Structure 1
Amino acid sequence: MSGLWGTRRRAALRSVCSLRCLYLGLGGAIGIAAAPAMAQTASNAPVNLDLGSVLSVGTGSAADLVNTPGTAPYEAPSKAPLNASQPTSQVTKNTISNMTTGTESYVTIATLTPSVSAISPNGPGLQEANGPVMRGFQDGQYNVTFDGIPVGDSNDFTHHSTSFFTNQQIGQVIVDRGPGTASTVGDATFGGTMSIRTIDPTAQRSITPYGEWGSWGTNIGGATLNTGAIQSANGASAVVDAEHIASNGGKTNTPQERTNFFGKVVIPVGTSTTVTLLADYNRLFQSFDTGATSDQIALFGPDYGNNTDPTSQAYYRYNTDHITNDMEYIDVQSNFGNGFLYDGKIYTYGYYHHGLNGADANGQGLPGQPLPAGAVPNLVAYTPGGALVTGVPGQQMMMDYRSVGTIQRLEKDFAWGDLMAGFWFDHQVNTRFQQEVILNAGNVPNYSNGTNPIDRLQHNQLYTFQPYGQFDWKPIDGLTVTAGVKYAMFRRALNAPVNQGTGLAQGFDHTWGKALPSVELKYSFNPNLSAYVQGAEGFLAPNLNTLYIENLSSTTFKPETTINFQGGMAYQDQHLALSGDIYTIHFENFLEKVGSGANKYYTNVGGTIYRGIEGEAAYTFDFGLTAFANAGYNQAFRTSTNIQITQAPQGTANFGLIYDRDGIYASVIDQWTGGEYSGNTGIGAYASSPAGGKSPGGWYDPYNVVNLAAGYTFNHLSPNLNQVKLKVNVDNITNNQRVIFDNGTDAAGQLWYYTLPGVSAFVSLSVPINF
């Protein structure tokens, strides 16, 4: 265990050093930004320069519609901003507050937009979602940002939907279905960007206790404090939120408990600079659901998750996650005058995941029946080369990492347009550890597979540097031509005393880079109607798993890239919000493992074509009713074989009705997810997939989930008690619990299936108290 102890000491040291660097940077940034600010006039108010995502929804009078209750842009669950120059959908706080439950994460919110799907078998937000998938791109192939900061695991660029911010702290979710402009930064921008915006302080000073109670023993309790503008502090304001979530989960024996603290402070400095400080801390414990075999579903029902038998690998206390994460940043926005605008962020975020799992959880067959051939038996060894005895085998894992980085942006406005330049730098240090353990003996090492129980011990680092330059040219009224280039540079360094997949002590250090041009044309016909076309390249650095080979010197592949072409339009007026787009994406240099043993290596084997059409529409009647629908038709297939890729639904749709008037809010939404291949059909005796057998992999038919929401807002109950809100959510009202996908296979080759969670109901109450 000395290696693990050393790893923990290094992780603690990294955490202290990273925070120290952050605080030093914060102090320096405030000093630099404040110095010129005092000389500015009130007319040079700062603007938000976070150009990594779309922040506003239009120009001229149409810009106000999204904030005007009773209009189509306000009521639509998802709408395209009028200033978008690529396919973009926005879900605002109005929809998040009225339509979703308090446990939901950004993942389930994003499924309200076209071409986005996700699987949440334990209920919304009550386990990490499988996905989401955007246009067929998997998690790790697109970007996720929090307040413009790219986040993710450096080993494969994936994300964790139950980490960082809760539903209460999300102000809006913006889904950009494309690589964006040169100024769009991130490790995996080529599949698009999901941009999560946290809540801002409100003008009204208040404290809002809130709670939610519902199915599966779910309880939420929290409070939000808004200071309002503090005149003695030059109008500074803050919002602080504390929240606790507890639930038994939608599957049996899959509890989750989560505690979160969030704070944001906005400080005007002089008359032309704003400094924003944010800190977030999140702690989570959960017993997770790996999926169930068809025999287990038939015997125990579709809501089977884990069991309560301490002698079983599927015991719920043996399949757990303990996750702690935090994020801190300082953002300085300033108008220097003469058309110069500045936006700079310095940030850090950390993710600390310690977990357990049964070696073959839910792969042991049914109670009282023989162990399936190939399954992992309950045999362990307490010493190297020792005799096998009865015990519960499993794995103990750890993944700890911290990122420290900065995003710096500068813009100069001219009469003909503007020039922009900037860069993103990020350094993540990641330690990954896993060893075989005996779960029913205090997690002591298990030597049943030899003399070394450690499966992996890796110290890896990822350096990312992305400078860019971009200009907007406005040759005529209404037309904006945007062109730019970004250079994406990635350096991956691996120091592995025990490398995953090989078990060898290995090291590797390599740098990849590519210039990524982009060009966009956007034309505003009038304040309500705009259209755009875009062409851009995307780039994805190789995942760490490409280094799980014995001969690292054979790693000569090219990174995966995309060439994107898309065009679309957006229209908004008081009664109608309408948008549509068409796209084609050529995914090049697809990576695939070839060979075996010491001769195994990765190579480029071709590409994939992604193409489709997407649309959104909402119409609001004068009496408070809104009808809405959105849909995406998506194709994704290998260019060499024309075979559809796996885990890519061939379409999505949302449609329904909303009533919002005189304090009453009610909605019904039908979410449809198209059919998809899983790529798994079972192994050996289990090679016939009960879910279907469409070649080349297991096929899952389309499915629908219908959700209801209804609430009433009590306005002006007293001078200090306003907008008290009572709400009811009923999800999956048809109680559809069918098999919708699989989570791979167990050791014997049986598929582990995911089913939809059954019908659930939640009641929530929030009580804003103004003072």
Structure 2
Amino acid sequence: MIASRFARKQVALLISLAFSPVLAHSAVDDAAAAVSGPVATVVISAKSGDYLGTQTAAAVAPTQSSMDATQPQSIITRDFIELSVTPTAEYSRIVNIAPSLSGDSSNGPGLSETKTTMRGFSDDQYNITFDGIPWGDTNNPAHHSTSFFPGSVIGGAIVERGPGNADNLGFATFGGSINLFSKKPLREQKFSVFGSAGTWNTTLAGAAYESGQLAGFGNGTVQFNAQRLKSDGYITLNRIKSDNFMIKVRRPVGDDTVLTVFASYNRIGYVQPDNSKGPTLAQVAQYGKNFGLNNDPTSFNYAGYNHTDKTTDFSYLRSQTSWGAGWTSDNQLYTYSYDNETISSTDPTGATAPGTKIGPLGNKDIPGIDKRNKYRVTGDILRLNKELEAGMIRGGLWYEYSKTDRHQYDLDLTLGLRDPRETKPTPLQAPSVLFDQQSTIRNVQPFVQFEWAATPSLTVTPGVKYVQITRSVDADINQTTRLPQHTSLEYSTTLPFLTANQKVSNQLAVYAQYAKGFQVPDLKSFYIADPSKNSSDPQKSVNYQLGVVGDAAALTWDIDVYKIDFTNKYVSNGLSGADAAFVNVGGATYKGVEGQATWLVGSGVALYANGSKNKATATDTGKTIANAPDMTAALGFLFKDGPWAASLIGKRTGKNRQVDYDPAKPAAYDTYLIGGYTNTDLSLAYRFLKPGAGISMLKLQLNVFNLANKQAITSISVGKTVPFDQYTFQAARSFQVSARAEF
């Protein structure tokens, strides 16, 4: 069953190529050095390998920037992940430490999907990549934080707040990128087992294997990781269970090529309604802030009616080659899939009474939905580099094709049957089918840039990327309209950029960036009678950014200022029927200042701080846009000395409004204002070296999350009327005790 879900044919093909019987004579590191391109350089800067020690501020910094940066960034190391982030975490918990990022899991750390905000940009307005490959949903470029990469397989992360260079790829470049990286292979063999137990019956168990460099395999390496997570969660009856398997094989082929195969499989099941936006205030008053589901079959909130099963896989074959005469190439052939199968009641708030829409008088059955979102994405990224005396030319092509199957059917959950409660507006529409839709995306993006070494200390990089995306919908019953839809639309744009980095000294650098970004139009723009009337111009941004980076032995720091003009906002024209269309109107301006610093005090002690002051306002009203916190801040204490390690870090998210300003409802603009919230996490760890039983190292760790037990509001979802607004809160204080044994 797992093998079939794991895209058996693709993975088998990739692994067979990696294990091809080609003699390899050079060491892994020598070959890697010969073919290092932009992605390889980033992986190295993420420091996603062994324990880094405590000799410099850069070695212990939770976040930092590179002296080679051309836009604001936060590099997060594997050391920080292992010490200060819960073992049950996924990427959102890891990157949340960075300036201008915010997001919180209402079910507990790593126990529910979290939508992170960056500078006020929502989850579908920035990219997330894994080893340089962008991934995300196909209806809009949003992400599911628990569905692909658990914290145990992430070797490091780089948060880039801006469109980046020409080879920063994805469908939403104007918000920035969260770049995740797999673990760097170790030189020596190591086998480890790990586990955690904590609040809400949370358990995690797993094993990892590092082959080290294998002489009989051309000094190649093999990495494997497997884990199982189970928890009841903080929200009542919101249980979660997930399994993840990962393998990574890296092997030199000849003297000038390195092949890498990565493959992962993830399956997660959880119990929660499709509308998991929290309880109403009336439900909070009656059941508490953690109310979610119950055991009453006559209720919309019955746990037996609300469950989701998600299966994903992600794999790639990477070939890095040095061709001589300054030429190198880096090619990634990849595929990933997502399959969400959900059964859910339709309204957990109580705003809708039980009973079918056209059922007999007195019908008390619970209505629900059968929901599917299933897609397969296949693509290739080719990067070519040519080293010249004057600098480096980088160019390439990103091609991607995706195919999606989505449906939603009405159910009678009480009877466990399709719910035949709707009449047929047209002969093509089947009873109980809200929509049954197939769609595709074909994407082609060539790019080129020139890293001009203007002086030994000044690098100036101009570049350009051309975007051409074709969306197609093939549906007999389309979403929203419930009419047939068989349409294709093409979107294209040109995105130039210019960056500069000046090394003032060995410890100080300044940078500047001008760059254009874009976001692909949402699939919902096809949910009208005639999408050909839509604008073909995607949402765009123009970014202006300046920054300074300092890196000394005892202090690493950086500060930046930014201004982003977001234009061509893609919205409905408000008309219906044949006149409905999505058009470009207005936009927003984002601006602010950000900084981060780590000071190595001495005796194993380091102090950390970051902060941002952010402002995002609509160009038409001048009002602050929804879900854009006005600030973020973090303070931390770090300690490493001998076998002991500890961290105490607090992260503050500032106030933000949950609805956009509406002249017809001006009171709501202030009513839905959240005052902000703070999470403070504590970690204590101790390492035993060679304690016996063949164990080379045993690490014991205690993590306490939300140490102050704050339970502030983190979001408000507007209901049909005010009594049915839904609220989410910080999860209560929790702890986890963890152990890791290495052999």
Post-superposition Cα deviations, 1:561-590, rounded to whole Å, max 9, x if no partner, equal 000010102111221010111000000101
How much has 1:705 moved relative to structure 2? 1.5
Of 391, 395, 411, the match for 1:421: 395
- Separation of aligned partners in 2, 1:423 and 1:22: 23
Q: Indicate yes or no: 2:361 matched with 1:376.
A: no
Q: Which residue of 2 aligns with 1:603?
A: 583
Q: Does 1:323 align with 2:299?
A: no
- Determine the structure 1 residue equivalent to 2:283: 296
Q: Residue 119 of structure 1 aligns to a residue in which SS?
A: coil
Is the CA contact 1:356–1:396 (under 8 Å) kept in the aligned structure 2?
yes
State the distance in 2 between where 1:553 and 1:519 align. 35
1:356 is the counterpart of 2:336: no
DSSP-derived class of the 1:402 partner: strand
Change (3 A) 1:34 1:205: closer
What is the deviation of 1:474?
0.6
2:55 to 58, 63, 70: 70
Identify the residue that residue 538 of structure 1 maps to in structure 2.
517
Task: Determine the structure 2 residue equivalent to 1:165.
Answer: 149
Residue 592 of structure 1 corresponds to: 571
Name the CA distance, whole Å, in 1 between partners of 2:661 and 2:48.
50
2:244 alignment partner in structure 1: 260
TM-score (norm 1): 0.90
> Which structure 2 segments of 5+ residues have no match?
425-429
Whichever residue aligns with residue 353 of structure 2, its letter is: P
Paired position in structure 1 for 2:716: 742
Q: Give 3-state SS (helix, strand or coil) of 2:125's partner.
A: coil
Residues 452-463 of structure 1 aligned to structure 2 (within 5 Å) = 452-463=431-442
Superposition deviation, residue 23 in structure 1: 6.2
Aligned-partner residue type, residue 714 of structure 1: F
Match status 1:579 vs 2:564: no
AA of the residue aligned to 1:124: P
Partner of 1:473: 452
One-letter amino acid matched to 1:195: N
For the 8 Å contact 2:18–2:260, the answer to whether it is kept is no
CA contact (8 A) 1:46 1:274 kept: no
Q: In the alignment, residue 82 of structure 1 is paired with which amino acid?
A: M
Closer, same or farther: CA 443–666 of 1 in aligned 2, 3 Å: farther
1:400 aligns with 2:374: yes
Match of 2:657 among 677, 684, 690: 677
Report if the CA contact (8 A) 1:458-1:499 is conserved: yes
Residue 616 (structure 2) pairs with residue 628 (structure 1): no
Match of 2:220 in 1: 236
The root-mean-square deviation of aligned C-alpha atoms, in Å, is 2.9
Shift of 1:667: 1.1
1:46 aligned partner: 34
**1:489-510 deviation digits (Å, cap 9, x = unpaired):** 1110011111111010112101
Per the TM alignment, residue 27 of structure 1 is displaced from its structure 2 partner at its CA by: 6.8
Q: Which of 253, 256, 263 in structure 2 is aligned with 1:269?
A: 253
SS in 2 for 1:360: coil
Aligned equivalents of 1:303, 1:387: Cα separation in 2: 35
In structure 2, give the amino acid aligned to 1:326: D
CA 1:29–1:75: 2 relative to 1, 3 Å: closer
In the alignment, the residues of structure 1 paired with residue 650 and residue 161 of structure 2 have an alpha-carbon distance, to the nearest angstrom, of 22
Q: Secondary structure at the match of 2:524?
A: helix
- The alignment partner of 2:497 has SS state of strand
Paired residue for 2:483? 504
1:525 aligns with 2:525: no
Counterpart of 1:376, as a letter, is T
Any conservation in 2 of the 1:65–1:574 contact (CA below 8 Å)? Answer: no
Q: Matches of 2:218 and 2:40 in 1, distance apart? A: 29
Structure-1 residue corresponding to 2:427 = none
Q: Which residue of 2 aligns with 1:205?
A: 189
Question: Deviation string for 1:37-88 (max 9, x for gaps)?
Answer: 99x9968943332449833449xxx999994423211111111122211101
2:464 aligned to 447, 468, 485, which one?
Answer: 485
Which position in structure 2 is the counterpart of 1:340? 327
Change (3 A) 1:716 1:36: closer
Give the equivalent residue in structure 2 for 1:409. Answer: 383
Whole-angstrom distance in 2 between the partners of 1:616 and 1:667: 17
Displacement after TM superposition at 1:393 (Å): 0.5
Distance change >3 Å, CA 520–CA 379, structure 1 → 2: same
The residue number in structure 2 matching 1:121 is: 106
Q: Distance in 2 between matches of 1:560 and 1:286?
A: 35
Question: Contact between 2:24 and 2:253, CA under 8 Å: does it hold in 1?
Answer: no
Change (3 A) 1:198 1:439: same
- Structure 1: gaps spanning 5 or more residues: 1-11, 365-374
Q: Is 1:725 the equivalent of 2:725? A: no
Q: Distance in 2 between matches of 1:217 and 1:299?
A: 24
Higher mean displacement: 718-727 or 472-481: 718-727
Aligned to 1:432: 406
Question: Does 2:216 correspond to 1:216?
Answer: no
Pairwise CA distance, 1:184: 1.1
**Residue-by-residue CA offset, 1:504-531 (whole Å, 9 max, x unaligned):** 0112101111111111010112332211
- Paired residue for 1:192? 176
Q: Which range moved further: 322-331 or 20-29? A: 20-29
- Aligned partners of 2:511 and 2:547: how far apart in 1? 6
In structure 2, do the counterparts of structure 1 residues 606 and 42 end up closer, same or farther at CA, with 3 Å as the change threshold? closer
Maintained 8 Å contact 1:376/1:747: no
Which residue number in structure 1 is paired with residue 232 of structure 2? Answer: 248
Tell me, yes or no, if the aligned pair for 1:380 and 1:448 is still in contact at 8 Å: no
Instruction: State how far apart, in whole Å, the 2-side matches of 1:166 and 1:326 are.
Output: 13
Q: Return the offset for 1:713.
A: 1.0
Q: 1:241 to 1:65 in 2, by over 3 A?
A: closer
Matched, 1:640 2:614: no
CA distance 1:456–1:625, change in 2 (3 Å)? same
d(CA) in 2 for partners of 1:277 and 1:479?
Answer: 36
The corresponding residue for 1:570 is 549
Judged with a 3 Å threshold, the aligned counterparts in structure 2 of structure 1 residues 53 and 743 are, in CA distance, closer, same or farther, namely farther
- Matched to 2:72, the amino acid is P
Distance 1:457 1:182, change over 3 A: same
**What count of residue pairs does the alignment treat as equivalent?**
731
The match for 2:293 is 306
Task: Return 319-328 or 286-295, whichever deviates more.
Answer: 286-295
Q: Quick one: distance in 2 between partners of 1:48 and 1:744?
A: 49
Residue pair 1:209, 1:222 contacting (<8 A) in 2 also: yes
Deviation per residue, 1:731-763 (Å, 9 max, x gap): 111111122211332578611000110000100
Q: Secondary structure at the match of 1:722?
A: strand
Change beyond 3 A, Cα 1:34–1:593: farther
- Structure 1 residues 639-682: Cα deviation after superposition (integer angstroms, max 9, x where no partner): 12111100111111111211111111111111100000001899
CA contact (8 A) 1:25 1:346 kept: no
On the 8 A contact 2:23/2:218 being kept in 1, the answer is no
Q: How does 1:692-771 map to 2 (within 5 A)?
A: 695=669, 698-718=672-692, 720-745=694-719, 750-769=724-743
C-alpha spacing 1:504/1:63, structure 2 compared with 1 (3 Å): closer
Change (3 A) 1:666 1:334: same
Instruction: State the partner residue of 1:156.
Output: 140
Aligned to 1:142: 126
Q: Which amino acid aligns with 2:550?
A: Y
The C-alpha deviation readout for 1:76-112, integer Å capped at 9, x for no partner, is 1111122211101011000000001111111111111
Partner-residue secondary structure (3-state), 1:55: helix
Residue 754 and residue 356 in structure 1: after superposition, are their counterparts in 2 closer, same or farther (change >3 A)? same
1:594 Cα offset (Å)? 2.2
Q: CA deviation at 1:715?
A: 2.1
Q: 1:161: how far off?
A: 0.1
Q: Is the 8 A contact 1:37 1:272 kept in 2?
A: no
**Cα contact 2:54–2:604 (8 A) shared by 1:** no
Q: How far off its partner does 1:720 sit?
A: 4.5
| Secondary structure of residue in 1 paired with 2:80 | helix
